[in-house]
Every structure is written in C-alpha cells, then in structure tokens.
Structure 1
C-alpha cells in the first residue's frame, strides 16, 4: 500500500474573498424556464369532482332531457316523448363512427390517434357542412350512455388513443355527461375533448363543467346575415361569443405535457370561407381582445364545396333564373369554389396584428409536430 507523501503541498481550493459589507454579484446567464402551458402531469377533471357533484350532474342531465334547453334553439320538448330540431331522443345517442382518428390537430392525434366519436345529427344546418353525411343525416347505430362509456374504454385499452374526442355533441350533452361519469367508474383515464360548433347554451356548458378537459370550438361566421343564410341560425355569432368565453373561463389556454400532447384548455378553429376574409378578420380580432391573446387558434384552409353548395336551384327561384347563365343556376354560388391560400394568409396576418401568436401550423423544423 503506497503512502501519501507529506512533502508535497496539498492543492488549495481558491474562493474569492468577498468583504462582508459588499454584495457578491453572480455573473448573469440566460434562464430557459418552462412556459406556463407546460404540465408535468395531468389528471382529467372528471376524476377531481366529488361523488356528490357527480350525482348532481346525473340528476341535472335527466332534467335537461325533460325540457330541452341544450342549445339556443331551446325547443323545450320532453325528449322522452318526442325530439326537437336535432331529431334525437333521450334514451340513446346515434353514433356514426368510433375509431382512432388521424385527421385532427397534431397535439390531439399524436402518434396513436384521437379517440373520436362522431355523433349523427346536429343543431345547425350549415349549407357547406364538411361532414354533411354524418351531421345532417341520422346514419349510424344507437348507444345508451353506458354502452358509449364502454366504447371509451375500448378506445383507451385497445386503441391506446391520447384522448376521447366527442365530435358534434351539442344535442346529446346529457347522454355524454352520463357516459363520462360511467366511464370514470370503469377506469377511464383520458382527457375529454368537446368538439363543438359553439352553438351551445350556457346551461349546457355549465353541465359539462368539471367533466371536459379540452374545448375545441368552431367560430364559423361573424355577421347575422351569414349566420341566417349559411348556418340556418338567427343568433349564431352572439351565441359563439358567449360559449367560447364560458369555455375559456372553465379550462383556460391550451396546455401540454412534455410529449407535446394537449391535456387541457381551449383551441379555437376558424374555417376560412371563400370571399369572407373580413368576417374571419373580425373573429380573430374579437378572440384577441375578449378572450386571450395566448389562445391557440387553427385557421383552417380545407374548405371546399360540400353539402348543398353548388347544387341546382330549386322551386320558383330556379324558374326565375331559367333564362340566365348556366353558372348562376346553383345554390350558394358565392361560396361555390375552394378557398384561396391568400385568403387564409390575410386572416392569419390579421390575427398576428391583433396579438395572437399561438397557431396550429406545420412544424418549421421539418419533423414531427409533437
């Protein structure tokens, strides 16, 4: 065993001597702090409500169905006896498709897909509906809330999806509430996305409070004229304003975990319509000034003529235009073309000028968005 030589001086650690009466200044360095929208972990909101609150929501769900006020149409019908505008009763929901979906925003679909549940029927009648074959037609199969909850579990356990994405659920909110509460008991652990047209009543959103983690509302048009003509609704814009503000009050701006998957908050979609740039600019300006400049916005460019757009004119109007040019003999002629990318860019520029900066867009680094 070698011995330590005592003849060599020990290496001395040198510390700067700082007088007690003078502050010691540390050299400045840049701090890379996590943004406020980054979560370490996330527990779905429906796991945080008490059993008493869950029982109250069940009772309220049944009450809404007895005198329906789930959307601004406020039909007031007893859905146990007959249906209103949506043509859906009380005992079941009509579902068209349940499957992992890879056509949503990257922060929702991830690598495994978003667990999408496409409900048939809708409380709007958009003339240009991009999901017309689902939303306007009652095609699909009937499910009770309990059966719907079991499908959530299949999406979680078999599909390994990142969330449960409820598409066009405005007219079946009570059944959705009952299904979420039942799925909680079955062991569901995924965030719930409420994917809506924003034509919701405040009473409906209050019923959903505590159960929905992510709100995914559309803000379609700005003027009453467009609302009446294209959506067949008298008060869409005012309703969308109230609804989106209520959604944001519940869950705030969109937040993510470290894997890039959204867990809670609001993401607003706006489908750019041909020739309607000014309405889009008003919408994004309103969002910035009245909701949040940090709100996540998806300015969508995939509009193309669908549903009733471009179909031949009907009735007296068709007869009156019989002698006119053939190109004028179609319905909704003003939006009977794909949207131009310059229209999309002008609305995005207006959003940036208003202070919005969080957009859904392709990754600039050329790789995955998540």
Structure 2
C-alpha cells in the first residue's frame, strides 16, 4: 500500500516521454592557460645541460666565429679579424640593456622583459623600426662574458621575468657563450630569442638547450617583396626552415598560472600596407606546416620608418636630371608627380585595420586559434 507521499508523487510524476539528455560535443577551451598549455613550474632549459654538453657548445661557438657560416649570408669571415654583412666582430655591440615594457604582456609581466638590443643585423629592411641601431654600429662593445654578467644585473637588480635577446641572428656564437657564462653566475630566468627568422637551421641547432622561448617574426612571403624590402630574396624559404626548427625544439607556447610565458614559440606577423595577401599566405602555411595551436600575434603597428618616404637618391647624368626635374624619359619637362616621387612609396602609409582584419580572418579560417589580443579586462591578454 502506497503512502500518502508516494501517491502524491505518482500523480505529479514527469511523463515517461520526457526528452533524453544528449551530451553536447566537446568545445576546445579558448584559453592560453588551459591544459596542456599550463605549467605547474618551469626550469630553464640551460639549467639541464651537462658539463660535457656545455663544453661542446663552447667549442662550436668559437669555431663559428673563426669561420662565420651560421647566418644565411654565409660571409665566411674570421670575426676575430674582420666583419661581414652584420658589421659586428667577435664581441657584441649593444645599444640598450634594460627592463622593457613594449613586448607582449605574457613576456613583460609586471616587472618587464630584460631586453638586450643588439646593434647590427643580417637584414636590411627598408622600413626597420630600429634602423639607427640595426643598420649602423651604434652602442658599446661587450665580450660574451661581460654580456652574461649583464643578464645577472637584469635578473637580480631589475627583477625581470626573462632575458630577451633582440635581433641576435648575427651574434649567435656570442649569445651561446654569454648564456653559459651567466649560468655559472646564477642565472635562472628563461631566455627569449627575439628574431626576424633570418636564421640558419645550424644556428638554431646550436641554440638547442639554451633558448626557452622563440619569438620569430615572419615578415613577407614573396621573393620579389623580400628582395625589395628586406634585401634578401631567399627570406621566406629561410624563415620557413628556421621556424619549423624552433617549433621542433620548444613546441607550443606554455604559461605558468601567473600568466607569464615560460617556453614555446610566439610568432609575430607585422601586417604591411598593401601586402595583406602575403600575410594570408604566411598564416595558412603556419597552420598547415607548423601547428594549428601555434600562438600568433597579428600586429598592426607598422608605420613608415627608415628609408620609406625619403626622397630618391640623387645620381649623376640622366638619372640626376630626372630626379631634379630637368627632364623625363623622352626629354620632356618633368611633372610635379615626378618631383614628388618618394622611395618605397607603396608602403609609405600606415596599415589599415581592414588589412589587419583580413589577415586575422584568414588565420582563423586556416585553423589557428591562439592569438595575442587586447584584454577585455585588466590584466594580461591571453
């Protein structure tokens, strides 16, 4: 016999035809701090090197300085005696060493990224934002050992979250020696290799075990563009090989719970005015050939610098007549349009937001989903 409570429950029970629960398909977590990109703790890779491995890297670094063949320029000079395209010898020339707050927030944190801005470069980008440093030998000379001691000052006095080596492609042997020396002095923060991607795979191999975060910039895609704007026709093919080698070493970008990046690849692409189609080619290639989980920063910071927008160089003879407005081809008087013509006029403007947006959309369509974006609230943007 049913109790009063049971009879009431039976009268008000849910019909047996109720809908069955159907589980929703799993949705990938759109957060850089979700597993497997979250680390409990992190020990920099150089701390794991054995004395034998360290000795081998020192030997290789000195050998490359004696016959410089690490960079794709393959100058082959003895840097203890002469200089190649990069303008730098066996020591490094540094323009600025300081905590830096102009990087991605996951690198700069609250105390800054310990940035070392090297003078010289193995590219000649006509729009270089640091052309006064990269295209000239401006700064002070340091031996690899002195450079390593500066890392300790950045760590112990500046309290920085990492050591950020900016434009180091042409000083890789010295960088190797400096990191190994700094390790003996007590360095314990991650190393960031901040590069244009014009690196050889041999160079990246020498850095294996020393670099925790690779920060490559994939600039342009077409050889004609790279020849004109970077003065390196083979730029894209070199960048593809080096970026794959970087990713093979350190994988996807990973963070500790404080939002700071500790290991992996953070790839930048600076969208160039009028060259968004090349940007689309780049992001598609990254998704198909590196990883769809690659952490990408599509940047809109381009503005004309260096040689862009400057008056054309004066030359002798007929070219000088044209430049000064005397004649045009055909011995006709020069027009105002000719007189106003500027160097690299096709990129002599800021990039438009629709150009940046089209590259970002192409990246998403290709399957990339981990983007460095402005935060919707205070704190790091992840």
Give the CA deviation at 1:240: 0.2
Unaligned runs of 5+ in 2: 1-22, 326-333
Task: Name 2:148's counterpart in structure 1.
Answer: 149
RMSD over aligned Cα atoms: 1.8
CA contact (8 A) 1:318 1:329 kept: no
1:247-326 superposed matches below 5 A: 247-316=246-315, 317=319, 319-321=321-323, 322=325, 323-324=334-335, 325=337
Aligned equivalent of 1:354? 366
User: Do 2:198 and 2:235's aligned partners in 1 also have CA atoms closer than 8 Å?
Assistant: yes
CA distance in 1, matches of 2:49, 2:150: 22
- Structure-2 residue corresponding to 1:24: none
Residue number in structure 1 paired with 2:19 = none
Aligned to 1:227: 226
**Deviation per CA, 1:66-123, whole angstroms, max 9, x where unpaired?**
1111211100111111111011111x10000000000000100000000000000000
Alignment check: 8 A CA contact 1:198 1:244 kept: yes
Measured after TM superposition, the shift of residue 203 of structure 1 is 1.0
Displacement after TM superposition at 1:328 (Å): 4.4
Q: Partner of 1:106 in structure 2?
A: 105
Tell me what 2:189 maps to. 190
Task: Report the CA distance shift for 1:172/1:367 in structure 2 as closer, same or farther (over 3 A).
Answer: closer
**Other structure's SS at 2:155 match:** helix
- SS of structure 2 residue aligned to 1:155: helix
Distance apart, 1:369 and its partner CA: 2.8
Runs (4+) of structure 1 moved beyond 6 Å? Answer: 28-33
Instruction: Determine if contact 1:117/1:167 at 8 Å carries over to the other structure.
Output: yes
Q: Which secondary structure does the structure 2 equivalent of 1:183 belong to?
A: helix
Q: State the match for 2:10 in structure 1.
A: none
In structure 2, the CA distance between the partners of 1:73 and 1:312, relative to structure 1 (3 Å rule), is same
* Corresponding residue for residue 48 of structure 1: 48
Aligned pair 1:332/2:344, yes or no? Answer: yes
C-alpha separation between the residues in 2 aligned to 1:161 and 1:330? 42
1:74 alignment partner, SS class: coil
Cα separation, 2, equivalents of 1:259 and 1:179: 28
Give matches, 1:37-76, under 5 Å.
37-76=37-76
Q: 1:249–1:318: structure 2 CA closer, same or farther, 3 Å change rule?
A: farther
Deviations 1:128-149 (A, max 9, x none): 0011111111111011111111
* CA–CA separation in structure 2 for the residues paired with 1:318 and 1:54: 57
Shift in alpha-carbon separation, 1:330–1:181, aligned structure 2, 3 A: same
Judged with a 3 Å threshold, the aligned counterparts in structure 2 of structure 1 residues 318 and 260 are, in CA distance, closer, same or farther, namely: farther
Instruction: Tell me the TM-score normalised to structure 1 length.
Output: 0.89
Structure 1 segment 178-217 matched on structure 2, within 5 A: 178-217=177-216
